[in-house]
Amino acid sequence: MTRWWAPAALLMLLGAAGCPGFGDKTLAELEGVETATWEADVQPILAAYCWRCHGQTVSNGAPNSLFTYEQAVAQAERILVRTVQQQTMPPSGSKPTDTERAQLEAWVAAGTPRGTPGPEMDAAPMPDMGVEGDAGVEADAGDLPERPTWDGHIAPIVELNCAFAGCHGGAEPEGNLDLTTYAGFDAGGDNGDLRGGGDPANSLLIDRLRARNGWSVMPDGGPMLPEMQIQVFEAWIAAGAPEE
């Protein structure tokens, strides 16, 4: 007779033991993480570790976008499995810390709450981030900030797309170019100055964003930033790349 109950019993045992490696506590309990919301915790984690593949448009073979709240909610259980439990996502590069994994776990456990946008998002007017997937749409000149600044316009884009460990941040930034600070941008990297004397047509930064003059695209591996954002960079370079 088939012991039909064996798999069920095994599942119950595994269930009682909790997640592998965490004993009878959840990771969130171990890390002292009580709550997490999309706005405050989860979006920044995905921006730092996932969007270079699961961004607004997908790249590097990723099957799905994890760019919007709705997309992340739809994949919440898989994020839990792949990033918190198996730790197989991201497949390469820097991995989320234990605390960040605990935040992802707490977010899923709490039913994926959205939270409210932090005050810093309201303080600086953000260029259109093209959340609805309008990458490549020709920008209306009226939408461009008159005088873009590092603090107000460039840093928010750079933080999401470039300035993290494994790319242009962390202990050993790629190409010795550290984009976590304005001073780092100003210093340039192994390939030298990024400003092109204030002419977007001569700027290495714009060469990389537009993948022109023989340079491959940045962010590395694509996708290219939305046209609107690249135009903000160009206007900023032309304005002398002011910090504030």
Quick check: 90 and 101 in contact, CB under 8 A?
no
**Among 79, 106, 108, 237, which residue interacts with ligand HEC (rule: CB under 6 A)?**
79
63 versus 119: smaller Cβ distance to ligand HEC = 63
Whole-angstrom distance, CA of residue 197 vs CA of residue 156: 23
71 versus 202: smaller Cβ distance to ligand HEC = 71
Q: Which residues contact 115 (CB under 8 A, 6 or more apart)?
A: 37, 38, 39, 40, 41
**Among 31, 41, 54, 73, which residue interacts with ligand HEC (rule: CB under 6 A)?**
54
Quick check: 169 and 48 in contact, CB under 8 A?
no
72 versus 235: smaller Cβ distance to ligand HEC = 72
Angle at Cα 123 formed by Cα 122 and Cα 129, nearest 5°? 55
Contact status: 73 vs ligand HEC (CB under 6 A): no
Token pair belonging to 185? 């941008």
Contact status: 83 vs ligand HEC (CB under 6 A): yes
Cβ at position 71, least distance to ligand HEC in Å: 10
Contact status: 61 vs ligand HEC (CB under 6 A): yes
Q: Which residue has the tokens 């960079």?
A: 233
Per-residue contact string for residues 94-133; x = within reach of ligand HEC by CB under 6 A? --x-------------------------------------
Give the footprint of ligand HEC on this chain (CB under 6 A): 46, 49-50, 52-54, 60-64, 66, 75, 78-79, 82-83, 89-93, 96
